[in-house]
Amino acid sequence: MDSTAQGTKNPPGPPATGGVSGALKYAADRNRCAAKYAESIASRNNVSRDNFIGQSLLGNDVATISQLALGPNRSDAALDTAFSNPTPVNAIALTAKGVIDQVAVDTGRLAVSSNGAGTYFASGSILKPVAQTGIGKLAGGIVGVVSAAKGVFDIALYFDALIACSQDPTLK
């Protein structure tokens, strides 16, 4: 006698039939569900879904990567992933690095030159990129720590949604 005949529900989980392809389809469906329902810093702070920058910076990167891999909204996920993802290779990080590497600050030291007669004179001040200053290094370290913390938070929220989707087969 099966469990539905006794009035109890079958436990959530992959279908008992279908073999490997059934299990892969089940896993893909549950991950699509998790990508759809995963919370993010943006959703917890009521950032509008129409705010591309806010969603890119504060959205759930794990859910975006899952959508890119499994669908259903791959084109939007590709744009979001190119703009903001948990690696240094994204539009925001590359732009910030380019700006920080190009903006120079005065070191307070002078560049000294001499002419052919042996006369020395100040020819300008010595500049260095913001990234090589103490404040630049500190800012880079803070950004790294915040990015790592956001990544851990995104993973936790994604797996929370994945568990919910696996326990409630009505979620799609």
Summarised one tens digit per residue, pLDDT across range 134-162 is: 877 887 788 778 878 888 888 888 888 88
Question: What per-residue confidence (pLDDT) applies to 22?
Answer: 79
Exposed / middle / buried, residue 104 (Cβ in 10 Å: 0-12, 13-18, 19+): middle
Structure-block tokens of residue 83 = 């703009």
Segment 11-18 shows an average pLDDT of 56
Asked whether the beta carbons of 29 and 67 are under 8 A apart, the reply is: no
Predicted confidence band of residue 88 (pLDDT cuts 50, 70, 90): low
Residue 86 in this model has a pLDDT that exceeds 80: no
- Per-residue pLDDT, 87: 63
CA–CA distance, 144 with 4 (Å, rounded to integer): 52
User: Does the pLDDT value for residue 79 go beyond 60?
Assistant: yes
Give the helix/strand (H/E) hosting 4: none
**Higher local confidence (pLDDT), 69 or 87:** 69
Q: Break the chain into its structural domains and give their ranges.
A: 19-167
